[in-house]
Amino acid sequence: MRVKTEAQGAGPAVTHAVTHAVTHAAVHPAHRARAGVGVRAASNALPVATVLLALLLAWYLGCIGLNRQGVIERVLADTPGWTTRDLVAATWSMERPVLPAPHQVAADLWNSITGWPVNSPRNLLLHTAVTAQSTLVGFVLGTLLGVLLAAAIVHSRTLDRALLPWIVASQTVPVLAIAPIVLVILGSLGFAGIAPKAAIAMYLCFFPVTVAMVQGLRAPQRIDTELLHTYAATRWQAFWLLRLPAALPYLFPSLRVAIAAGLVGAMVAELPTGAQAGLGARLLTGSYYGNTVGIWSALVMSALLGLALTAAVAAVERLVLRRQRAGA
Amino acid sequence: MSDDSTAVAPLTWALLAAGLALAVWSVRRAAAIEGPRWAGPLSAALFGAWVLIYWQAGVTVFEVPRVLLPAPSAIAASLLEHAPTLGRDFVQTVLKAVVVGWILGSALGFAVAVAIDRVPFLQRGLLPVASLSSTVPLVAVAPIMVMWFGFEWPSKAAVVVLMTFFPMLVATLAGLQAAGRQERELMHTYAASYMRTLIDLRLPNAVPFIVSALKINATLALIGAIVAEFFGSPTVGLGFRISTEAARMNMSLVWGAIVVAAVTGSMAYALLVALEKRWAFWHPTVRSQQ
């Protein structure tokens, strides 16, 4: 039992620990104790920028390599005597390339955002908003469900023994595969629009939250729970005053995992229904019509959405934990 | 559906209620058992069995349409009936796309981590990027991979490589930092070379991190391969089976394919836990579980 709980928690925890360890080592020992986020970010800015620049360079080189064949056959066929310079320029500005160049993707993104009204289906912001909406609804519901379930599990030995192993085990299972079933069931029950997508997002969100919250709600030391017992605190008070605050540091990393999982869930839920809107639908239509630049724009947009959602959760985390520390 | 439920006889209701009471009582009793090692799994197994029984009973009594929720018996029948098809799907998705992608992606992540171990500059540059990649829906590259590598399994393996690369990179880097200061200084007093320290001290210390990344990657790889098949595949594969049979409302076969995927995921996980016990038996996190 515990094997699995720990192993599952290891993902985000490892990520977190390693960023921490490495960034800390980079900072001068004298600063180590009070190194703020700003110092760490600044010390990493140059390496990160270098890596990103190298990726960009590799992307442009990849464009030349991957598009070369198509360009020679389709673009330069009727211009005899072309030079290498023509070839490179053509691979970076081709229509329907195998790999669009970064500036083509950026231009397509810019066009689709500024060139059409926000409520037009050609505007990528509309699709982003649709996906973000179902992700957020699912995330909120999934978090609520996860926290409630964890509270029930912590207070009931039966649920702990009978239900928790199934929840933990279900993390080893590709739960996303069940998305088409949820869509069919909810669809035949007459739910349409956001509900099925939010349901899948919720369902992906609640697993990590439940597992982390069970750990977190159990985090208080025996001495603390016994102190509250001597105060004749009720179960409810012990939960509200001790267990819940102690669980917050466990909750937030799981929320970051959950919202990323929820976004994937929402996007996958947009695939099989022939949905009209949403980033997943954009990906699918792009792949039907061979619109590579469109696929890449949707891809970049979904990456940005994922980063923005996680950053929002991280901001809430900082706010809450700071208030908690200030209150303590 | 509401018409059907009014037709259910009072006796059936009584039986169902009595069964439910028995179920709650037996699971509670099982959970209250202290001591023996089998006590924990027992109540979970009992709970699972009761859920199956009630699933079957509920679907039969209330005549739930098969499209909505097939009975476990129907799923089992469909599993048996379509075993050859599902077997081919398993070979296509798991043995080709997942295994190849998982091995390649994990090996690549490990190799890159070891390679940049001596270059702190690259580590500081790559780590934030690799950590952020977990917040990005990487599965979304599936349509691009299908375009590049075609409908067959290499495109799915490519998605899996991309999804499994970063977790392994991050975990290996963390694991290589895990060796204690005292041990490192001991190696230093032995005048051990960088390679000796790496092979004899730091890599063994990284094993628990690497195995835990392998576990996470096993689940990610299954998800990646199945979802990538939603974007286009030959007429074989678990993801293909799930999406086409769901569109044809043949839900018992969809559930059958999901059972295959779920069993595969948990078996892979169990296998990795066993390997971890074997490779990292000395590590405190493993020892504390025995």
Give A98-149 pLDDT, tens digit per residue.
888 888 888 888 888 887 777 777 778 888 888 899 999 999 999 999 999 9
**Within a domain: B69:** no
User: What pLDDT is recorded for position B110?
Assistant: 94
Which whole number is the average pLDDT over A282-306?
A: 85
| Co-location of B160 and B259 in the same domain | yes
User: What pLDDT is recorded for position A17?
Assistant: 36
User: What pLDDT is recorded for position A39?
Assistant: 46
Q: Does residue A15 sit at the B interface (CB-CB below 8 Å)?
A: yes
HSE of A221 in the Cβ direction (CA atoms, 13 Å)?
Answer: 3
Question: Higher model confidence: residue A80 or residue A20?
Answer: A80
Compute how many other C-beta atoms are within 10 angstroms of the C-beta atom of residue B196. 12
Q: How much of chain A is in helix, strand and coil states, percent to nearest 5?
A: 80, 0, 20
Which whole number is the average pLDDT over A276-290?
A: 81
**Within a domain: B253:** yes
Residue B124 has its nearest CB partner, among A47, A181, A309, at A47
Dihedral sign (CA A316, A319, A322, A324)? negative
Any idea what the CATH number is for the domain that residue B140 is in? 1.10.3720.10
Which whole number is the average pLDDT over B45-66?
A: 85
Which whole number is the average pLDDT over A51-76?
A: 83
| Co-location of B103 and B25 in the same domain | no
| Co-location of A48 and A177 in the same domain | no
| Co-location of A154 and A258 in the same domain | yes
CA distance A26 to B224: 35
| Co-location of B100 and B199 in the same domain | yes
| Co-location of B28 and B131 in the same domain | no
Could you tell me which chain A residue has the CA closest to the CA of B173? A18
**Residue B153 in this model has a pLDDT that exceeds 50:** yes
**Within a domain: A118:** no
pLDDT band at B102 (very low <50, low <70, confident <90, very high): very high
| Co-location of A128 and A249 in the same domain | yes
Contacts of B141 in chain A (CB under 8 A): 299
| Co-location of A142 and A256 in the same domain | yes
User: What pLDDT is recorded for position B100?
Assistant: 94
| Co-location of B116 and B45 in the same domain | no
| Co-location of B274 and B243 in the same domain | yes
Distances (CA, A) of B178 to A132, B150, B286: 38, 41, 15
User: What pLDDT is recorded for position B7?
Assistant: 61
Contact B43 A161 (CB under 8 A): yes
**Mean pLDDT over the full length of chain B:** 85
- What phi-psi label fits residue A117: left (phi over 0), alpha (psi between -120 and 50 degrees) or beta? beta
Interface of A with B in 274-293 (CB under 8 A): 279-280, 283-284, 286-287, 290, 292
Q: What is the domain range of residue B16?
A: 2-64
**Among A29-33, A236-240, A243-247, B150-154, whose mean pLDDT is lowest?**
A29-33
**Within a domain: B58:** yes
**Within a domain: B8:** yes
Which whole number is the average pLDDT over B78-85?
A: 89
Alpha carbon B231 to its chain centroid, in Å, reads 21
Going by C-alpha positions, the residue among A132, A104, A144, A148 that lies closest to residue A294 is A104
User: What pLDDT is recorded for position A272?
Assistant: 65
| Co-location of A256 and A298 in the same domain | yes
Alpha carbon A156 to its chain centroid, in Å, reads 32
**Residue A284 in this model has a pLDDT that exceeds 60:** yes
User: What pLDDT is recorded for position A145?
Assistant: 93
| Co-location of B112 and B182 in the same domain | yes
Question: Higher model confidence: residue B3 or residue B198?
Answer: B198
How many domains is chain A partitioned into structurally?
Answer: 2
> A188 to chain B, minimum CA–CA distance in Å?
7
**Residue A78 in this model has a pLDDT that exceeds 80:** no
Any idea what the CATH number is for the domain that residue A254 is in? 1.10.3720.10
Interface of A with B in 93-132 (CB under 8 A): 98
| Co-location of B110 and B252 in the same domain | yes
| Co-location of B126 and B247 in the same domain | yes
**Within a domain: A108:** no
Q: Which of B89, B124, B238 to mutate to test the interface with A (most CBs of A within 10 A)?
A: B124
Q: What is the domain range of residue A79?
A: 36-99
User: What pLDDT is recorded for position B8?
Assistant: 67
Contacts of B242 in chain A (CB under 8 A): 177, 180-181
| Co-location of B28 and B98 in the same domain | no
**Among A290-294, B171-175, B207-211, B213-217, whose mean pLDDT is lowest?**
A290-294
User: What pLDDT is recorded for position A31?
Assistant: 35
| Co-location of A213 and A75 in the same domain | no
Contact A260 B134 (CB under 8 A): yes
**Within a domain: A8:** no
Could you tell me which chain B residue has the CA closest to the CA of A257? B135
| Co-location of A177 and A294 in the same domain | yes
**Within a domain: B224:** yes
**Within a domain: B186:** yes
b or e along A228-256 (b: 16 or more beta carbons within 10 Å of the residue's beta carbon)? beeeebeeeebbeebbbbbbeebbbbbbb
| Co-location of A282 and A318 in the same domain | yes
| Co-location of B183 and B241 in the same domain | yes
DSSP single-letter state for residue B98 = I
pLDDT band at B289 (very low <50, low <70, confident <90, very high): low
User: What pLDDT is recorded for position B1?
Assistant: 43
Contacts of A290 in chain B (CB under 8 A): 147
| Co-location of A163 and A94 in the same domain | no
| Co-location of A134 and A83 in the same domain | no
HSE of B207 in the Cβ direction (CA atoms, 13 Å)?
Answer: 19
pLDDT in tens, A2-42: 333 333 333 333 333 333 333 333 333 333 333 344 445 56
User: What pLDDT is recorded for position A286?
Assistant: 81
**Within a domain: B70:** no
User: What pLDDT is recorded for position A325?
Assistant: 76
| Co-location of A206 and A74 in the same domain | no
**Within a domain: B196:** yes
**Within a domain: A113:** no
User: What pLDDT is recorded for position B216?
Assistant: 87
**Residue B76 in this model has a pLDDT that exceeds 60:** yes
Share of chain B above pLDDT 70, in %: 94
- As given in the structure block, the two tokens for residue B228 are 């990538």
| Co-location of B189 and B232 in the same domain | yes
User: What pLDDT is recorded for position B104?
Assistant: 95
Contact A19 B30 (CB under 8 A): no
User: What pLDDT is recorded for position A103?
Assistant: 85
| Co-location of A79 and A183 in the same domain | no
How many domains is chain B partitioned into structurally?
Answer: 2
